[in-house]
Structure 1
Amino acid sequence: MTTLGVVFRPQLAPEKLRPLVRAADAAGLEELWLWEDCFLESGVAAASAALAWSERLHVGVGLLPVPLRNVALTSMEAATLLRLFPGRVSLSVGHGVQDWMGQVGARPASPLTLLREYLSAMRALLRGERVTVDGQYVHLDSVALDWPPLEAPPVYAGGVGPRTLRLTGEAADGTILDASFSAEGVRRARQLVDEGRESAGRTGEGHHKVVVYLLAATGPGAAGRLHAELAREGKESVPGLGVAGDAGAVAKAVQGLVEAGADTVVLQPTADEPDPEGFVRFAAEEVRGLVP
């Protein structure tokens, strides 16, 4: 069955998170996703609060920028969340926005090398292994978590370009695709991920999940808000991006992404969504029932 989620965008002030989490939990939303965007909000701090404020809501962080974070710290934080809230957390990592990484003096010369080394070390640490590695970017000397997760979790990685998408297949357990992917884009991305899995000999490891964000708007002025956001991103001329309309229209767009290879679709409201809590209820109470 397709999993449906909503993202809490960090353009909303942190204090807006609690009422939205309560609304999501009460409405039966399956997943709430958070971003760690510079210089807005911490993904891990927000995830911890959201999990504590809810009873059954699954919380994902997509994604944590690896140049900004030592892999041991990210693994410690991940393990803590996974033990505090077993079965309710998904974490993903990625390059981050390179201009932002440059602003804090953390821009790597080879983002692909860093992400590959990071994924290898993080997955090993979360399996409870003792890790020694002296890579180009990742350096660990006999590091092991004292409180690893009780069960090794999947580690997702985000990607846009072909080489990164192949890498997510090679080295991650799942892939995060942002809202710049149409259904056709998701189909091509899934092919690249599968190529990476095949090159790494991982095709027998089980299903590699793909999480896709879908820019969505509903209610009065929905089409205008959607077009304005796409225009701000310079993507208003890209066919098949985003959806504006009622629950039926949104569900149809979700199904198109699923048919292209998405396992989870996360509805991404526009940055100027006038009723974030209402958007959560719309997703959980109106769209969910129309998505197989």
Structure 2
Amino acid sequence: MTTLGAVFRPDNPPERLRDVVRAADDSGLEELWLWEDCFQEGAIATVAAALAWSERVRIGVGVLPVPLRSVALTAMEIATLERLFPGRAIWGIGHGVQDWMGQVGARVASPVTLLREYLDALRGLLAGERITVKGRYIHLDDVALDWPPVTAPPIFAAATGPRTLHLVGEAADGVILTSSTPADRIRAAVDVIRTARPETAARQPYPVIVYLAAATGPGAAERLAARLRADTGDPIPDVGVAGDAHAIADCVARWTEAGATSVILEPTADDPDPAAFVRFVAEQVRPLVP
């Protein structure tokens, strides 16, 4: 079954999050995803609040930019929230937008090397291991968590290019693809991942989480076109969908056929009612998606 979720965009002020979380929880939305975009809302603070305000909806973080965060601190924060809210969060990490990383003095010469070292160290710490590592970027000396999670959570990673996709296929528990990924690129990404992990590809599906830009209600087509034009310069690329629940569910089905195991609907930044959007996803789109 395809997992369906929605994004609370950090373009919205933090004080709007509570109403959106409660709408997601009450309506039966499966997953509500939060972003850590510079220089908006911090993901750890928002995910902690979202978990505390809800009972059942899973909260995804897509993604924590690894150049911004010590891997030991990230492990401590994830472990704490996993013990407080076991299995309720979905954790994603990634390179971060390189221009933003440069603005804060965190840009590295080899983002792929950093991500690999970070994934290995983070997963080891969350598994309760004691780690000493002297990598190019990650340096840990006899480090272990006093309070590791009872069960180590999966760690997902964002990827676009083939080198990062191959790395993520090898070292992460699933991949996160942006909403600029059309169906043919989803298929290509799945092919790269399968070559990176041939021993598991035949036994179980590898989680492929894909954002899908979506708009509904009055002015949906115009809002989506403006969003795509701002991102790509093309108002009608092969990404995004505007329309009613049936139109959006049909697009979700195409993304699933291309290889997505989870489709997370991303509203436009100017969506007039983010809480209504998550209710629409849960109550109108979800029943139409197998």
Common fold: TM-score over 0.5:
yes
Task: Work out the CA distance in 2 between the residues paired with 1:225 and 1:240.
Answer: 16
One-letter identity of the residue aligned with 1:291: V
SS of structure 1 residue aligned to 2:232? coil
Decide whether the 8 Å contact of 1:179 with 1:242 is kept in 2: yes
Decide whether the 8 Å contact of 1:170 with 1:202 is kept in 2: no
Instruction: Report the Cα offset of residue 234 of structure 1.
Output: 1.9
Decide whether the 8 Å contact of 1:63 with 1:91 is kept in 2: yes
The aligned residue for residue 270 of structure 1 is 268
Instruction: Report the Cα offset of residue 236 of structure 1.
Output: 2.0
Decide whether the 8 Å contact of 1:175 with 1:209 is kept in 2: yes
The aligned residue for residue 223 of structure 1 is 221
Task: Work out the CA distance in 1 between the residues paired with 2:236 and 2:171.
Answer: 30
Give RMSD over aligned pairs. Answer: 1.2
The aligned residue for residue 40 of structure 1 is 40
Q: For residues 65-89 of structure 1, what are the alpha-carbon distances to aligned partners after superposition, in whole Å with 9 as ceiling and x for unaligned?
A: 0000000001111111111111111
Task: Work out the CA distance in 1 between the residues paired with 2:27 and 2:62.
Answer: 22
One-letter identity of the residue aligned with 1:25: D
Alignment coverage as a number of residue pairs: 290
Decide whether the 8 Å contact of 2:225 with 2:236 is kept in 1: no
Change (3 A) 1:16 1:119: same
Instruction: Report the Cα offset of residue 162 of structure 1.
Output: 1.1
Do structure 1's residue 233 and structure 2's residue 210 form an aligned pair? no
Do structure 1's residue 86 and structure 2's residue 86 form an aligned pair? yes
The aligned residue for residue 175 of structure 2 is 175
The aligned residue for residue 6 of structure 1 is 6
TM-score, normalisation: structure 1: 0.97
The aligned residue for residue 153 of structure 1 is 153
One-letter identity of the residue aligned with 1:109: A
After the TM superposition, which residues 241-252 of structure 1 pair with which residues of structure 2 at under 5 Å, given as runs?
241-252=239-250
Do structure 1's residue 109 and structure 2's residue 123 form an aligned pair? no
Decide whether the 8 Å contact of 1:34 with 1:47 is kept in 2: yes
The aligned residue for residue 164 of structure 2 is 164
Q: 2:282 aligns with which of 281, 284, 290?
A: 284
Decide whether the 8 Å contact of 1:6 with 1:268 is kept in 2: yes
One-letter identity of the residue aligned with 1:285: E
Q: For residues 208-267 of structure 1, what are the alpha-carbon distances to aligned partners after superposition, in whole Å with 9 as ceiling and x for unaligned?
A: 201100000001110000000000012526632000000000000011111111111100
The aligned residue for residue 55 of structure 1 is 55
**Gaps in structure 1 of 5+ consecutive residues:** none
Do structure 1's residue 207 and structure 2's residue 205 form an aligned pair? yes
Task: Work out the CA distance in 2 between the residues paired with 1:273 and 1:84.
Answer: 32
One-letter identity of the residue aligned with 1:145: L
**Gaps in structure 2 of 5+ consecutive residues:** none
The aligned residue for residue 100 of structure 1 is 100
Instruction: Report the Cα offset of residue 193 of structure 1.
Output: 1.3
The aligned residue for residue 121 of structure 1 is 121
Instruction: Report the Cα offset of residue 207 of structure 1.
Output: 3.4
Change (3 A) 1:73 1:206: farther
Task: Work out the CA distance in 1 between the residues paired with 2:207 and 2:123.
Answer: 16
Task: Work out the CA distance in 2 between the residues paired with 1:205 and 1:211.
Answer: 19
One-letter identity of the residue aligned with 1:129: E
Decide whether the 8 Å contact of 1:67 with 1:101 is kept in 2: yes
Task: Work out the CA distance in 2 between the residues paired with 1:153 and 1:121.
Answer: 14
Task: Work out the CA distance in 2 between the residues paired with 1:222 and 1:47.
Answer: 28
TM-score, normalisation: structure 2: 0.97
